[in-house]
Structure 1
Amino acid sequence: MPVPKLFSSLHPGRRSLVTAMIKEIKKILLTQPNYAWLSKRTWQFPPYTLCLLKAVIKSQAEAIVFDPNFKNLSEEETIKFLKTVNPDLIGVSSISTEYFNVTRHTIALIRKHLPGTVIVLGGVLPTVMTEEAMKDRNVDYWIIGEGELAFPRLIEELRKGAKDLSGISGLAYWQGSTPVINKMEFVSDLDKVPFPDYSSIAGLTLCDYGNIKFKYAPGLLARNYPSAVTITSRGCPYRCIFCAGRTISGEKVRFRSAENVLNEIDYLYKQGIREVIFLDDHFLADRNRAIKIMNGILENHRDLTWKCVNVTAWLLDEKILKLMHKSGCNFIVVSIESGSRRVLRDIIKKPIKLENIPPILKLAKSIGFDIIANFVVGFPGETWEEIRETFAFAEKLEADMVNFHIATPLPKTELMDICLREKLLPSDYIENISRYSGYGKGLITTEEFTPFELEVLRSYEWDRINFSSDKRKKAVARINGITAEELEDWRVNTRRNLGVNSLVKNIMSSPEK
């Protein structure tokens, strides 16, 4: 493909002479940065994708998953472990553009202390910021999109001397001073992807992660412990302007079969898991499949609870809600985005009918669900009055908690294209994307609003609506797993920091004994 202009001034780089010399790749370490090194927000989430990749490649080499986040390991402790393992190849996964700086920092440490190791970077970051990620010449190879196809092929080709990498889907690399970015393909049959291998996470077990109590993160806060996450579908057919999901996982929804999902639930149950959290964007999109999964849970694991952190509102009805609740789900998150029909239709481009939302949430509440409703404000073209419409709409809903995010331009989204074209962002936004990230932080300036105005309005309306009565206060505290005292601290911090990284401490603490 043609060389992007961004690369034109870059020095001829390291195309890893080391890789060409490797005859055998016997030991592979899969890891992610400790996000606490350079971020106020920490990450103690199960390394689902790393364990999945381990399952994919374990027949090719000894594969070790190492997560420095769980015990908040220091740089020194992390490097000491890496040196002890001394892998031939290290695969680094970066889950968000927010962590661009700490990812780059981590890779620099690895290169400094393990100069002969092949480094491969994958995940969301290189997928949506490929050109920027490829500036870091400490990395040997980048994997764009889903790694299940590219990673095992790369290992195979490296063993042959890396003579021809052009056929590896989604692989990016340098040939001298020329960047090469292979076309990305998606996994067509998700049933062929093995279940994540949690057998060895550098001394940790799946249940170690499963017993974490995710305070302030109700989507991940389990009712039963230990809990585990999984993904049963990939892709999104919709064109919401702020979402990069179509770039990351494709515009067609691909489903694992109900039988495959139920087999994984059995696999997790045998390891002691008692709650499953589905991270899908479209768990309910194939209605018959979803019904089979729920009936299977009812039949095989009546003591298992589950939740889905993203529920498509227009797919909910009485039959589905009752079956969800009967099969062990009592919590839903509904992303409505706006209380303005014009904003939804003409700006966000989300096919949702606002008039259907209040009755379906009222029904869900009557059945016994805890409900969170999500909204986004501050889009280019949105008026101040339309932003106020969103808060007014949210206030009337029968939801236990409402969240308001400020529109954040992410790479490979239509929103980013609009903001760059109309010069609505800080001039150094791309170069310093880690510093600007955070869904409570305003970035976009229009004739209707400034970032500061959005931050003030968002934080105070969040407080006013969610804590308007003792009943609502108790509901918010309960679904966030916090005490009344912690709730008051959270409110004060949010108001004083305008919702931007208001919890400096680690918000994902270990469960109470």
Structure 2
Amino acid sequence: METYKPPHLGIAMLFSYINKVFGNSVKCFLLDALPDELSTDEISKRICEIRPDALAITVKTMQVVQSLDIIQKIKKNISPIIICGGNHVSVDPELFIKCGADFSVIGEGEEALEIILKKVFFECKNLEYPPNIVMNSKYDQAERENIKKCIYLSDDVDKYGIPNWEIFDLTRYNENIHINKASHALPIIASRGCLYKCDFCSTHLTWGTTVRYRSPHLVFNEIKKEIEKYNISDYHFYDDNLLFSDTWMDEFLWLIEKERLKFNWICLSRPEIICKNRHLLERMKKCGCKGFELGFETQNEDLYNNMNKKNKKTAFIEAYNLLSEKEFEMIEFLIMCFYDGETMKTLFETYESLKKYKKKKSLFIYSRYFATPFLGTKFNENLCEKGVILSNNLEYKHAIFLNFIPYSFLNSSLENFRVNGKTLAIQLLFSQIDYVIHKNEVATLLDKINTEKFAKIFNEVAENRGIIQDLCDRILCINNYTCCLESIYEYVGRMIEFAVAKGAIKYKNENPIL
């Protein structure tokens, strides 16, 4: 994601917990491919040089291919116990066992890692493997097929302590809280789990639907200790909804007020929760809260309801006005494009609505992501019936890639929409279209069909009351069917979204959409 390189909070927690349990009996090394921009060959070489007894790999969906490659390369040279965990392992643990890993951890990792190390290296035979571990059969002769897999082992998250960042060189990372990106922040989390199961979200598959809070005192002491040790005074809360518990927040703010600790922080919450807890907003601001991130997703109420968000779009207006009234420095809307049900009209509605929010006092920013059908989510079910999958490669299962085009969008009308080719050309000079899956074919299309030509084709289809599928077919014909259809969809989808976001597409009708 360009130059954004946050330090990994999960690894810092695991390192802290292992140190607490084993002390000097276990020595840990960190190999982070993110700041070093390492290839799988370079990663494998370094691991083989270290020759660890145990290799623990944390895996997100877009890292699956690389992780499996590393496992296979390692096993050709050395034979460590290989333990995999992370988001994707939680939803497909058997995949990693089949490819050579010894253990796959579902969900929470601290106690699982502790028990694996104790049984394998410290011969603690009286311990049993917990039900959030899938393993190679050679480590457990008992019949485990009927054991119900769980995500976490304890309701007491305080027992895992606080993250230990000593294993990281924090100067090489650049987490921030949006206000000043040159000022480094540390990630922090006060709770695990999310009560809401939005259809596109995989959080509940990793953390569960029970919200388990760490004590306010523990979180406060963590921040206080890190300020003293690292001289970092910005904190980015990763909680899915930090404001979910008003009693927790009340006590956390009381601790800050009592000790007059000075630090800056931002958090994620939901609009109806913000409105419900408006009595806390003034105190939060005085205690260093600089702003909120909100899952706005789309302006369209029907599309929003399709996502199973469990609140009303009108709540955003009320919450935004509240935050602006309290003069929080930053408010960020998280936008999701191309979810099932998206049309040309709903996409245009969303970007048009953002212009109204920008007029408020606070620094208003938005981050655009693409709907991504992660394994195990409701959104992923019956996907082929809902649209076109642009890539089956897991490396592109990341919300910065347009990897799904819904039929609702392809079948939506272009009537009354027009593209200004000159405006589009100017915008492309300053902001290039990047993060594409079919890189070579899309580059060829961008070179062959320049902005003026794209605008001309788009407007001709619109004048003839055509749909986006007609636009795709026209472009496919121009290229003599030499491009795969998926690359055409990706090119058209990215061009339209870019043009709408940059104001190069207008809606011409006596009755405006908004």
State the TM-score, normalizing by the size of structure 2: 0.71
Residue 236 (structure 1) shift: 1.0
CA contact (8 A) 1:262 1:297 kept: yes
Query: What is the DSSP-based 3-state SS (H/G/I as helix, E as strand, rest coil) of the residue aligned with 1:269?
Result: helix
Indicate yes or no: 2:293 matched with 1:293: no
State the Cα deviation string for residues 17-51 of structure 1 (Å, max 9, x = none). xxxxxxxxxxxxxxxxxxxxxxx767632122112
User: What residue in structure 2 maps to residue 342 of structure 1?
Assistant: 302
Which residue pairs with 1:53 in the alignment?
A: 14
Q: Which residue of 2 aligns with 1:505?
A: none
What do residues 403-445 of structure 1 show as CA deviations (whole Å, max 9, x unaligned)? 333321111110001315x36344972xx22235444404133
Q: Supply the AA of the counterpart residue of 1:490.
A: S
Residue correspondences, number: 418
Match of 2:92 among 129, 138, 150: 129
> Would you say 1:108 and 2:75 are equivalent positions?
no
Map 1:177-192 onto structure 2 (within 5 A).
183-186=149-152, 187-192=154-159
Match of residue 30, structure 2, among 51, 65, 72: 65
Q: Deviations over 1:213-265 (max 9, x none)?
A: 45xxx656756844211111011111210001111100111111111111111
Q: Secondary structure at the match of 1:306?
A: strand
Aligned-residue offset at 1:195: 1.1
Does residue 1:196 correspond to 2:163, yes or no? yes
What's the % identity of the aligned pairs? 22
Q: Counterpart in 1 of 2:280?
A: 320
Q: Distance in 2 between matches of 1:494 and 1:169?
A: 38
Aligned equivalent of 1:413: 377
Q: Distance in 2 between matches of 1:89 and 1:378?
A: 42
Match of 1:490 in 2: 431
Alignment of 1:235-274 (within 5 A): 235-271=193-229, 272-274=231-233
Residue pair 1:170, 1:184 contacting (<8 A) in 2 also: yes
Is the deviation greater in 357-366 or in 225-234?
Answer: 357-366
Correspondence for 1:435 among 379, 382, 396: 396
Of 280, 298, 310, which aligns to 2:239? 280
Query: Who is 1:22 aligned against?
Result: none
Q: Which stretches in structure 1 are left out of the alignment for 5+ residues?
A: 1-39, 468-486, 503-513
- The change in CA–CA distance for 1:200 and 1:314 in structure 2 (over 3 A counts) is same
Pair 1:297–1:172, CA change in 2 (3 A): same
Measure, in 2, the Cα distance between the counterparts of 1:193 and 1:184: 18
Q: Alignment partner of 2:368: what SS?
A: strand
User: RMSD of the alignment, in Å?
Assistant: 3.7
Query: Superposed, which structure 2 residues align to 1:89-100 within 5 Å?
Result: 89-94=54-59, 96-100=60-64
Give the match's secondary structure for 2:309.
coil
Offset at residue 174 of structure 1 (A): 2.7
Write 1 or 2 for the structure with the bigger share of helix: 2
Q: Relative to structure 1, is the Cα distance of residues 182 and 54 closer, same or farther in structure 2, using a 3 angstrom cutoff?
A: farther
2:121 maps to 159
Amino acid at match of 2:409: F
Q: Which moved more, 1:401-410 or 1:191-200?
A: 401-410
Amino acid at match of 1:391: Y
Evaluate the alpha carbon distance shift between residue 453 and residue 72 of structure 1 in structure 2; reply closer, same or farther with a 3 A threshold.
Answer: farther
Of residues 53, 57, 61, the one that matches 1:88 is 53
Change (3 A) 1:453 1:257: farther
Q: Which amino acid aligns with 1:55?
A: S
Q: Please tell me whether the aligned partners of residues 106 and 150 of structure 2 are also in contact (alpha carbons under 8 angstroms).
A: yes
The one of the two structures with greater contact order (alpha-carbon pairs below 8 A, sep at least 6) is 1
1:352 aligns with 2:316: no
Q: Which structure: larger Rg? A: 2
Relative to structure 1, is the Cα distance of residues 434 and 493 closer, same or farther in structure 2, using a 3 angstrom cutoff?
A: closer
Identify if the C-alpha distance between structure 1 residues 89 and 442 changes in structure 2 by more than 3 Å, giving closer, same or farther: closer
**Equivalent pair of 1:407/1:439 in contact (CA under 8 Å):** no
CA distance in 1, matches of 2:284, 2:320: 14
Deviations 1:460-493 (A, max 9, x none): 9xx99xx9xxxxxxxxxxxxxxxxxxx9743665
**For residues 220 and 162 of structure 1, do their structure 2 counterparts lie closer, same or farther at Cα, with a shift above 3 Å needed?**
farther
**In 2, Cα distance between the equivalents of 1:334 and 1:288?**
21
Q: What is the deviation of 1:312?
A: 1.5
Distance in structure 2 (CA, Å) of the matches to 1:452 and 1:135: 43
